[in-house]
Structure 1
Amino acid sequence: MEKKMFKLITLFSVLINFSTFADVRESLTSAQKEEVVNVLKANEKLHASFFKYDAKSVADSAQELKNAMNKVSHEKIKKLLKFSMTKLDEIKANKTKDENGQNYHTISMALIYILNTYDVGSEYNAYSCPMVKKKWVQNSSKQEKVHNPYAANMPHCGSKDTSF
């Protein structure tokens, strides 16, 4: 399973790096865009619970994010989110922050790919931290400063990787 996850993360990394060279993101209908933005809003809540790390809030927010993902109607995006939904099920209050963080990173890679591929507006951007070697999505219009959900000892370590 770990080998499969490594391959998936590597694939998402390649796709993300490739898509950053593309200047044009695909358009979505207003309904599809709203569905994806609702996913990103649910992700904001999960991001915040990782940043403060409250295990129960992390687990509850993971399920809210999964519920938002289940409402996505765009077939390609739905397919991209399928594996992420299994990772959301693995985020539990009784798991360690590192275990939950690894699952969140996998989910974030899929969300970053979607951000880079589809035009969902300019509020959300991809961020990364070279120290922990992880990435996430953050609402730049609400939090311009880096809020690293993986490293409590360096909460503002990292950089904004996209500017939509």
Structure 2
Amino acid sequence: MRLNFLISFGILVFFSVCNKIQTPISESEKNALQTILSENESIHSFLMKEEEKIPELTKLETAIQALIALNGGLKIQAEKMQNSLKEKGSKDVEKFFLAYSAFSENLAESVKLAGGTGIFNKFYCPMVKKTWVSQGTKVQNPYAPEMRDCGDLVP
């Protein structure tokens, strides 16, 4: 009985450690991530100017596909980004905002895994309960035109 417990515990520890080992991030992946960040910045700018409109995501989705195709250390995060955008809806702005917030969470995690970029940051607005990633440290909430400065820089 005690031996079975020790074996089970050892296997659990082994898999726990294995899950923490990360595949190295290649320069190609970092470049692909930079393309995604650039496309994301275009979408953020669009949302800051337009109300009740959904931006075109084709270039962003293509950039995510390119990152997935590299089959490296960011593949799982890229797949999560892709999956979150599948829930965007075609004309429902609130569905898009929920999908974009989920995408942003995964994008922020990808940036963190890649070692950060130094210029892109994660933000969160507690009023709308949504996340976004944008350049700089100034809060520019893309979700609520009436509260563009509502939100916090998240470490």
* TM class, shorter-length: 0.7 to 0.9
Partner of 1:126: 122
2:131 is equivalent to residue 135 of structure 1? yes
Where 2:145 maps in the other structure, the secondary structure is: coil
Give the C-alpha shift of residue 84 in structure 1: 2.4
Give the C-alpha shift of residue 133 in structure 1: 1.3
Partner of 1:13: none
Larger radius of gyration: 2
Match of 2:76 among 71, 75, 79: 79
State the alpha-carbon separation in 2 of the partners of residues 41 and 74 from structure 1.
Answer: 21
Listed one character per residue, the Cα deviations across residues 23-67 of structure 1 (whole Å, up to 9, x for unaligned) are xxx973332211111111111111122222366661x1x221111
State the alpha-carbon separation in 1 of the partners of residues 132 and 53 from structure 2.
Answer: 20
Contact 2:86 2:99 in 1 (8 A): no
2:38 is equivalent to residue 41 of structure 1? yes
Q: Cα–Cα, structure 1 residues 127 and 74, in superposed 2: closer, same or farther, change >3 Å?
A: farther
State the alpha-carbon separation in 2 of the partners of residues 69 and 130 from structure 1.
Answer: 28
Q: Percent identity?
A: 26
Partner of 1:8: none
Where 1:148 maps in the other structure, the secondary structure is: coil
State the alpha-carbon separation in 1 of the partners of residues 127 and 120 from structure 2.
Answer: 22
State the alpha-carbon separation in 1 of the partners of residues 116 and 128 from structure 2.
Answer: 27
Q: TM-score, normalised by structure 1?
A: 0.70
Listed one character per residue, the Cα deviations across residues 91-131 of structure 1 (whole Å, up to 9, x for unaligned) are 35x52221110110110110111122221421111111111
Contact 1:147 1:155 in 2 (8 A): yes
Kindly report the root-mean-square deviation, in angstroms, between the aligned alpha carbons of the 2 structures: 2.4
Q: Cα–Cα, structure 1 residues 86 and 53, in superposed 2: closer, same or farther, change >3 Å?
A: farther
Hey, which bits of structure 1, 4+ residues long, moved more than 4 A?
Answer: 54-57
Number of paired residues?
132
Match of 1:98 among 90, 94, 99: 94
2:141 is equivalent to residue 148 of structure 1? yes
Structure 1 segments unaligned to the other structure (5+ residues): 1-25
Q: Which has the higher contact order (CA 8 A, sep 6+)?
A: 1
Partner of 2:58: 63
State the alpha-carbon separation in 1 of the partners of residues 52 and 79 from structure 2.
Answer: 24
